[in-house]
Amino acid sequence: MDVRTSVHFGVLLLSVLFTIGASGEDYFPEAQNVKWVSNNFKTILTWGPEPTNYTYTVEFSEVGKDRQRNPYCIRSSGTECDLTNELRNLEETYSADVLSEPLPGVNSDLVEFPYTRAERFCPYKDTQIGAPSFNIKQSEDKTKMTLHIQDPLTPLYRDDQLLTIRDIFKNELKYSVVYNKAGSTGKKETMSDLRDVELTNLDKGESYCFMVAAYIPSRSVEKRLGDWSKPQCSPRESKSIFEEFHFGVIAGAIGIMLAMFIILITLTVVCCKCCSCNKNKKNSGQGEPAV
């Protein structure tokens, strides 16, 4: 092997070793399980694992437009990024990438950093709607109940006021109501366009239990229904004995009690007579003269 060949081989070897070393130093694992978590339009991008000697940067945009960065999610050691206030056009579709980058202040020779892309996300179509709260008001004649539903709040503002989901969905927002008589398994369901849901033809004085969920018919089937509220029951009206039981039941109970009373009196009289007779016989036996 001549000198020129030896030098060429040495340079090639050093180049390979340098490349291997550089690749090892610039290795940044890709983010895993990148997904959107959104409830009532509060939207957070999450992923894993927690980084050790590298960081994460989030880039996002409306589909087809320039990429943007949240200043709090650049070369961060966190595994989530709150994009609630960045996704301003709620009916647009967004894409997002999580890039794996070196620590702040550390340079890298990589031209493009490894990244993982989240599924596309549209706040209007994809955010989960939380359970609403409500209260129950009963009519004076006890045959009608009205549910007063509170539209869930969002973290979004307009004119310094928090928006509700009705401010966003407007006429598309409906409420599904499921109810049943307390203690019964049979359920009924109704749909309402309004916050005040009136239920009629109810059994007078009975307690009914209700659950409520938001319903957006324009969404895909699996995302139309929001979270169900906790069951809430109306109070049961106290009834007199004549309202609680039929006349025949009451008459039968009175008849049984009267019969028992007559039997008790009869037994008492019989017992008293028996005791009186036994006493007279005993006294009569003591008065006879001895023979």
pLDDT tens by residue, 247-272: 566 667 677 877 787 888 887 777 77
pLDDT beyond 50 at 290: no
Bridge partners of residue 211, in order along the sequence: 178
Is the predicted pLDDT of residue 13 greater than 50, yes or no? Answer: no
Q: What is the mean pLDDT of residues 13-26?
A: 46
Q: In whole angstroms, what is the distance from residue 155 CA to residue 25 CA?
A: 42
Separation between Cα atoms, residue 269 and residue 262, nearest integer Å: 11
Q: Is the pLDDT of residue 275 over 80?
A: no
Residue 21's pLDDT is what? Answer: 43
pLDDT tens string 78-107: 999 999 999 999 999 999 999 999 999 898
Q: Are 33 and 98 in contact (CB under 8 A)?
A: no
What single-letter amino acid sits at 122? C
Question: What does the H/E/C string look like for 165-222?
Answer: HHHHHHHHCEEEEEEEECCCCCCEEEEECCCEEEECCCCCCCCEEEEEEEECCCCCHH
According to DSSP, the β-strands at 42-48 and 208-215 are unpaired
Q: Domain 133-237 - what CATH class? A: mainly beta
pTM of the model: 0.71
- pLDDT value at 288 more than 80: no
What tens digit of pLDDT does each residue of 194-226 get? 999 999 888 888 899 999 999 999 999 999 999
HEC states along 31-66?
Answer: CEEEEEEEECCEEEEEEECCCCCCEEEEEEEECCCC
Residue 241 has pLDDT above 80, yes or no: no
Name the pLDDT band for 277 (thresholds 50, 70, 90): low
Domain ranges of the chain: 3-126, 133-237
Architecture field, domain 3-126: Sandwich (2.60)
